[in-house]
C-alpha cells in the first residue's frame, strides 16, 4: 500500500509550486542558443557531420576562452599567494613578491584560505581607493566606501536588493537602458522590482538622451515609484562611450528627479575610438560642485573580468558608494556579511590590477607591453567589425567605440518573420539559431537585451583573435546574404 502512496505522491518542488519571481527570470547570454551550441560541440566530438568543423562562441565577453593570454604579472602574484614557498624562488620578480607579501600579511594567518573581512581585505580596499584617485585626477576616494564583490554582478544585485521596496504603485521602479545587459532585467524580475525602460538612440550611435529619460520617468510615475537609474558606460551590448556632457546631464537629471545612480563602468579601459574618452560618473559628479557631489547618491561598479585583464573566472570586483546614508551603509555591511566574504583570489587579483608595476620596477615594461598589446588589438578588432558589417546590405553597425561587443541591426525579410512566428520564436532568435546550425557561429539575439519594437539585432563579441574574427565576420556576411536570398 505504502508503495502506491509514494508512487502517486507528487514532488514538493515543481514549476507550479516554485518561486514565481525566479520563473520570470531570463538570461539570454547563456540561454537556449548557448545550450544548443554546447550540444553541437558534443556532436562534433562524436564525429557527427556538420557544415562546420568548430563552434565559435562569440556570445559572451570571455577573453581568455577566445585566446587572450593572461597578464603575466597578475598570475605571478596569484601563484605566490597561493603557494608562498615560491617566495623563495628566484624565478619570480621582486615586485611580484613584494605585492604577494603585502597581501599575505593582510590575510588571517597569512593565508588566502582565511575568510577576509566581509567588505574585503582592508589593504586591497586602500589600493582600490588610490587607483580611483589616480584615475579621477586626485578626487578623493575613501576605502570605507569600497565594497569588494564576487564580480560586478554580485555587487549590482546586492545594491538593488537594498533599494527595492514597496507594493503596488509604491513599488520601486528601476530605470535601465534598452538595449541592456540582461543581468539587470534578471535581477529586477527576481526582486520583483518594476523595470522601467529608457531607449538608447541607435541613430545617434546609441547615445543616451535625457529627454528620453524624462519620458520614461514620467510614464513610470503612473504605476510605480522610480528610485534608481542604471547606466552602463561604456555600453553593453551597444559599445557606445558617453560624452562628458551627457554624463553631466544624467547627473543633473538624477538630482532633480531624486534617483539613486548606479554606474556600471566595468569596461572603463576599453575605449577604442579617437575622440572618445572614459569619464567616470564619480569624477564628473565631483567636478559639478558641492550642490551635486554632496547630495547625489551614486554607486559605481568595476570588475576583474573585462578591460585588458579578462579574468572572468576569478569573479573579482568592487563597488564604490558615494553619499550613501550611514545607517544604510551599516545595513549593507550586515547584508554582505551573511555571505562571509568575496573570494580571496579575486581580491588578490583586484589588488594587483589597482596596484600594478610602477615605472622602475622589474616587471613594469613587460606589464605595459602586454596590457597595451591587448588594448591595441581590441581597438583594431572594433574597427574591423564595424567595417565588414557595414559592407553587408541589410546589416547596419554603429561604431564600436568601447566595451567588447557590436550590436548591429539586421533586416529580416517578411517570409523569415512568418517562419519564426510559426515556430514560436522571435525573428532574431530564429536568425541566430539558423546561423548556429548552418555556420557553427554562436551569437545572442537582440531580443535578449531588448530593442525597439520592429527592429532586430544580435550581439557579437569582438574578442576572437583578429584572423579568426575576420573569418567569422565573412561567414556572417555570407550567411546574411544567403538568408536574405532564401527568404526574399
| Residues from 150 through 189 that contact a second copy (CB under 8 A) | 150-151, 153-154, 157, 161-165, 182-183, 186-187
Least CB distance to a second copy at residue 231 (A): 15
- Given 120, 239, 310, 427, the residue binding a second copy (CB under 8 A): 310
Least CB distance to a second copy at residue 224 (A): 14
Measured from the CB atom, the residue of 38 and 368 that comes closer to a second copy is 38
d(CA 159, CA 168): 21
Least CB distance to a second copy at residue 92 (A): 9
Least CB distance to a second copy at residue 81 (A): 9
Residue 445 is a binding residue for a second copy (CB under 8 A): no
Residue 324 is a binding residue for a second copy (CB under 8 A): yes
Phi, psi of 359 (to 5 degrees): -50, 135
Helix axes 364-389, 72-82, angle to 10 degrees: 130
Residue reference for cell 579578462: 310
Look at residue 413 and give its three-state secondary structure: coil
Measured from the CB atom, the residue of 116 and 240 that comes closer to a second copy is 116
- Given 106, 139, 255, 433, the residue binding a second copy (CB under 8 A): 255
Q: Does an H or E element contain 423, and which?
A: helix 414-423
Residue 325 is a binding residue for a second copy (CB under 8 A): yes
**How many CB atoms neighbour CB 418 within 10 A?**
12
Do residues 179 and 200 make contact, with C-beta atoms less than 8 angstroms apart? Answer: yes
Residue reference for cell 562571509: 340
Reading the block at residue 204, the C-alpha cell is 545617434
| Residues 256-285 within binding reach of a second copy (CB under 8 A) | 258-260
Reading the block at residue 336, the C-alpha cell is 554582505
Least CB distance to a second copy at residue 382 (A): 20
Reading the block at residue 412, the C-alpha cell is 529580416
The β-bridge relationship of strands 298-303 and 316-322 is antiparallel
Least CB distance to a second copy at residue 30 (A): 4
With vertex at residue 61, the alpha carbon angle to CA 58 and CA 63, rounded to the nearest 5 degrees, is 95
- Given 235, 346, 357, 448, the residue binding a second copy (CB under 8 A): 346
Measured from the CB atom, the residue of 317 and 399 that comes closer to a second copy is 317
Measured from the CB atom, the residue of 228 and 392 that comes closer to a second copy is 228
Taking alpha carbons only, the member of 278, 213, 215 closest to residue 249 is 213
Taking alpha carbons only, the member of 86, 148, 98 closest to residue 345 is 148
Reading the block at residue 22, the C-alpha cell is 525566479
Taking alpha carbons only, the member of 65, 58, 64 closest to residue 471 is 58
Least CB distance to a second copy at residue 85 (A): 8
Look at residue 296 and give its three-state secondary structure: coil
- Given 342, 408, 445, 448, the residue binding a second copy (CB under 8 A): 342
One symbol per residue from 77 to 116: x for binding a second copy (CB under 8 A), - otherwise; what is it?
-xx--xx--x--x-x---------------xxx-xxxxxx
Phi, psi of 369 (to 5 degrees): -60, -45
- Given 313, 362, 394, 413, the residue binding a second copy (CB under 8 A): 313
Least CB distance to a second copy at residue 423 (A): 20
**Omega prior to 237 cis, within 30 of 0:** yes
- Given 130, 323, 390, 455, the residue binding a second copy (CB under 8 A): 323
| Residues 29-88 within binding reach of a second copy (CB under 8 A) | 29-31, 38, 60, 62-70, 75-76, 78-79, 82-83, 86
The β-bridge relationship of strands 194-199 and 172-178 is parallel
Stretch that binds a second copy, among 9-17, 208-216, 434-442, 479-487 (CB under 8 A): 9-17
d(CA 244, CA 89): 48
Measured from the CB atom, the residue of 154 and 428 that comes closer to a second copy is 154
Stretch that binds a second copy, among 252-260, 360-368, 375-383, 421-429 (CB under 8 A): 252-260
Residue 17 is a binding residue for a second copy (CB under 8 A): yes
Least CB distance to a second copy at residue 102 (A): 16
Size of the site for a second copy (CB under 8 A): 104
Phi, psi of 177 (to 5 degrees): -70, 150
Least CB distance to a second copy at residue 434 (A): 23
Measured from the CB atom, the residue of 408 and 445 that comes closer to a second copy is 445
Q: How many helices (H) and strands (E) does the chain have?
A: 18, 14
- Given 134, 244, 245, 339, the residue binding a second copy (CB under 8 A): 339
Residue 369 is a binding residue for a second copy (CB under 8 A): no
d(CA 384, CA 370): 21
One symbol per residue from 117 to 136: x for binding a second copy (CB under 8 A), - otherwise; what is it?
xx------------------
Measured from the CB atom, the residue of 239 and 345 that comes closer to a second copy is 345
One symbol per residue from 202 to 241: x for binding a second copy (CB under 8 A), - otherwise; what is it?
-------------------------xx-------------
Sign of CA dihedral 45, 461, 267, 409: negative
With vertex at residue 438, the alpha carbon angle to CA 433 and CA 440, rounded to the nearest 5 degrees, is 80
User: CA torsion angle for 102, 108, 110, 113 (degrees, to 10)?
Assistant: -110
Taking alpha carbons only, the member of 104, 107, 87, 109 closest to residue 96 is 87
Least CB distance to a second copy at residue 27 (A): 5
Amino acid at each position: 500500500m505504502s508503495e502506491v502512496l509514494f508512487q502517486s505522491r507528487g514532488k514538493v518542488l515543481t514549476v507550479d509550486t516554485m518561486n514565481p519571481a525566479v520563473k520570470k527570470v531570463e538570461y539570454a547570454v547563456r540561454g537556449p542558443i548557448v545550450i544548443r551550441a554546447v550540444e553541437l560541440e558534443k556532436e562534433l566530438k562524436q564525429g557527427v557531420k556538420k557544415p562546420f568543423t568548430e563552434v565559435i562562441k562569440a556570445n559572451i565577453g570571455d577573453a581568455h576562452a577566445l585566446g587572450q593570454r593572461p597578464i603575466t604579472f597578475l598570475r605571478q602574484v596569484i601563484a605566490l599567494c597561493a603557494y608562498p614557498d615560491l617566495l623563495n624562488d628566484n624565478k619570480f620578480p621582486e615586485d611580484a613578491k613584494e605585492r604577494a607579501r603585502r597581501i599575505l600579511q593582510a590575510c588571517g594567518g597569512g593565508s588566502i584560505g582565511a575568510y577576509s573581512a566581509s567588505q574585503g581585505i582592508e589593504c586591497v580596499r586602500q589600493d582600490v581607493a588610490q587607483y580611483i584617485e589616480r584615475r579621477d585626477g586626485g578626487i578623493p576616494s575613501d576605502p570605507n566606501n569600497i565594497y569588494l564583490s564576487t564580480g560586478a554582478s554580485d555587487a549590482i544585485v546586492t545594491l538593488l536588493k537594498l533599494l527595492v521596496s514597496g507594493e503596488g504603485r509604491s513599488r520601486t521602479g528601476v530605470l535601465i537602458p534598452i538595449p541592456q545587459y540582461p543581468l539587470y532585467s534578471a535581477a529586477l524580475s527576481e526582486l520583483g522590482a518594476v523595470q522601467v525602460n529608457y531607449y538608447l538612440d541607435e541613430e545617434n550611435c546609441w547615445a543616451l538622451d535625457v529627454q528620453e529619460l524624462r519620458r520614461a520617468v514620467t510614464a513610470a510615475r503612473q504605476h510605480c515609484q522610480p528610485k534608481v537609474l542604471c547606466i552602463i558606460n561604456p555600453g553593453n551590448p551597444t559599445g557606445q562611450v558617453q560624452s562628458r556632457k551627457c554624463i553631466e546631464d544624467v547627473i543633473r537629471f538624477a538630482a532633480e528627479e531624486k534617483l539613486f545612480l548606479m554606474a556600471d563602468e566595468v569596461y572603463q579601459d576599453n575605449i577604442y575610438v579617437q575622440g572618445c574618452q572614459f569619464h567616470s560618473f564619480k569624477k564628473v559628479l565631483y567636478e559639478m560642485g558641492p550642490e551635486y557631489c554632496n547630495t547625489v547618491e551614486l554607486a559605481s561598479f568595476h570588475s576583474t573580468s573585462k578591460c585588458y585583464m579578462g579574468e572572468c573566472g576569478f569573479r573579482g570586483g568592487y563597488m564604490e558608494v558615494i553619499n550613501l546614508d550611514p545607517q544604510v551603509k551599516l545595513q549593507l555591511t550586515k547584508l554582505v556579511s551573511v555571505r562571509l566574504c568575496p573570494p580571496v583570489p579575486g581580491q588578490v587579483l583586484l589588488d594587483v590590477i589597482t596596484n600594478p608595476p610602477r615605472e622602475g620596477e622589474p616587471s613594469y615594461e613587460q606589464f605595459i607591453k602586454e596590457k597595451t598589446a591587448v588594448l591595441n588589438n581590441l581597438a583594431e578588432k572594433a574597427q574591423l567589425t564595424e567595417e565588414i558589417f557595414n559592407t553587408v546590405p541589410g546589416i547596419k553597425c554603429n561604431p564600436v567605440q568601447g566595451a567588447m561587443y557590436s550590436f548591429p541591426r539586421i533586416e529580416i525579410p517578411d517570409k523569415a518573420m512568418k517562419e519564426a512566428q510559426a515556430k514560436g520564436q522571435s525573428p532574431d532568435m530564429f536568425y541566430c539559431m539558423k546561423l548556429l546550425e548552418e555556420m557553427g557561429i554562436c551569437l545572442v539575439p537582440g531580443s535578449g537585451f531588448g530593442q525597439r519594437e520592429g527592429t532586430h539585432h544580435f550581439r557579437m563579441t569582438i574578442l576572437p583573435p583578429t584572423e579568426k574574427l575576420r573569418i567569422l565576420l565573412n561567414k556572417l556576411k555570407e550567411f546574411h546574404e544567403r538568408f536574405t536570398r532564401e527568404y526574399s
